[in-house]
Every structure is written in structure tokens, then in C-alpha cells.
Amino acid sequence: MPCRVLMLKMSLLSLPRPPRPTPSSHCRTKCTRCRSLSFDGGRRTLLFMLPQLPEVIPLNVGGMGFTTRLSTLLRYEDTMLAAMFSGRHYVPTDAEGRYFIDRDGTYFGDILNFLRCGDLPPQERVKMVYKEAQYYSIGPLLDILDKMQPLTGEKVRQAFLDLMPYYKDHLERIIDIGKHRAIQRKARFAKLKVCVFKEEMPITPYECPQFNALRFERSESESKLFEHHCEVDVSFGPWEAVADVYDLLHCIVTDLSERGIAVEHQCIGVCDKHLINHYYCKRPIYEFKITWW
């Protein structure tokens, strides 16, 4: 018996392989049929079993229905959709036979409209469509959206925030401290002290403003005498840029509100810590008030 099985296997192995089609000159790179047929090895049989894709493709993207031409999905060669519908891959279908993509379909219409005729989304959808274009790897759409607002503005802003590598961590600290403080006190609000200072040495000589210029001429060892941490919850600074304290405050408030956190802030004075001789820290301190509910 084992011998007969072996013989059967041998005869299967010796079966002639289907002829390899020669791609004609017009479809050397683009014709998906030729490409799938030219696959080698054991996957050949599986590829022959993949059904031919229809010209009109019904889609189910995370439960939302769409219909488009196959040529629309294949518009740009290096995209995920072109790869999915190239005929080389198995694409699952739902109970109604629609090709299923397990992704929120909210912005898929914007993606299709771009593939159909180059239409771009309205400004309020640009950010989210960009995320989808990243997922589907649609390079030409990403290139155009990159130059649209609010993404361009975001890049300009990020160039400033890159000066503060700790920025995101400090935002998290504000949220954490605000949350724990409110829970601990069973309060609706939480207040935090946040120091925001722009200059490397924002220390000014008390009652002797003429010494102010000296702060840029101090040696490193002298500078150490002035180093200290203000008694606040979180401290941002220093940075070297045209953007000032108010610009950074704007970033903090905007980013917190994007996280759904309502925050008000007001300057409540300066740090009065005495450092050395006539020098006092004069960094501005802001009170942040987070309203949780």
C-alpha cells in the first residue's frame, strides 16, 4: 500500500506543468493576468483557482457599501488596493458576495473619489483622509494632501514643537496630574501650576535691571549656580525660536482640547525663588484649570 501511495505521488509530480504564457509586449508590466500566471512553484495551482475579478466591484468596507470599477481600484500600481485587486490575492467576500475590507468606511468614499477623478476632500476631512491614504498607501493622494491645510500648518507648528522633545510627555503629565488631583479631591476641576519660559536663563537681577545683559555672558560654572527647578507641576522651556510663550500655550491648549480636555489658563505671577546675590528666578507661572465634567 505505501508503495502505491508513493507511486501516485510520483506520477503527480511528473505531470506536465501548464505552459508558461509569454507576456506580450503591451502587457509586460501592467497586465495582472500575465503576472499571476507567471508565478512559479507550488503556488501555481492556487493562482489558477483564483476567480477572475468582475469589471464592477461591489465592496463592503467595515459595513459600508461601495461600488466601483476594477480599473478605479487599480489606478495607481503601488497602492494596497491595486495589490488586493490585482488577481494575485484572495479577497474575502461577505454574505452578499461583496469584497470585504476590515476598515472603517467613513472616509473610503473620499479615497474612491480621488482614484476615480482626482477629487480632493473638503478641508475638514483632510486630516482623516490623510490617515486613510496612509493605510491604503496611496502616494499621489498623500503628496497632494501634504500641501493642504490644516496639514501644512501642522508641519510648521511641529517644526517648532520639535525643539521640545519632552513636549508630548509633559502633556501626558498634565493630564495624569489633573486626573489624580480631581479624583483624590472628588472635584469637578483640577488646578495645576505650569511654568512656561522661553529663555535659557530667564533669571533677572532683582532691583538691578542693568545687570540683565550679564546673563548671556556667564561662564558654564557660573550658569550652574543659577540652575534650579521651579516649584510647579510641569515646566516647559527653554527654546530658541521666534515663537514665544503665548505660542506654546496655544499649542498646549489646542493639543489638550484635541484629546477632549477642556483647559483654561491664566498667569498667576512669577517664580520668586532667590538664586544668588541679586538674582531671582522670574519665570512666569500659569495656573491651568482642567474641567473634567
Window 219 to 238, contacts with Zn ion (CB under 5 A): 230
Using the rule CB under 5 A, which residue among 138, 281, 285, 290 binds Zn ion?
281
Kindly tell me which of 220 and 227 has the beta carbon lying closer to Zn ion: 227
Amino acid at 251: C
| Closest CB 242 distance from Zn ion, rounded Å | 24
Q: Which residues contact 14 (CB under 8 A, 6 or more apart)?
A: none
| The 99-101 sheet, strands edge to edge | 64-69, 56-61, 99-101
* Span from 101-109, 126-134, 178-186, 267-275 in contact with Zn ion (CB under 5 A): 267-275
| Closest CB 197 distance from Zn ion, rounded Å | 8
CA distance 47 to 35: 10
| Closest CB 226 distance from Zn ion, rounded Å | 10
Kindly tell me which of 151 and 201 has the beta carbon lying closer to Zn ion: 201
CA distance 195 to 283: 7
| Closest CB 106 distance from Zn ion, rounded Å | 47
Kindly tell me which of 198 and 283 has the beta carbon lying closer to Zn ion: 283
Using the rule CB under 5 A, which residue among 271, 280, 286, 288 binds Zn ion?
271
* Span from 16-24, 115-123, 125-133, 268-276 in contact with Zn ion (CB under 5 A): 268-276
> 281 — phi, psi (to 5°)?
-70, 135
| Closest CB 282 distance from Zn ion, rounded Å | 8
CA distance 224 to 189: 38
CA distance 203 to 139: 49
Quick one: residue 201, left, alpha or beta (phi over 0 = left, psi -120 to 50 = alpha)?
beta
Please give the residue ranges that form the binding site for Zn ion (CB under 5 A): 230, 271, 273, 281, 283
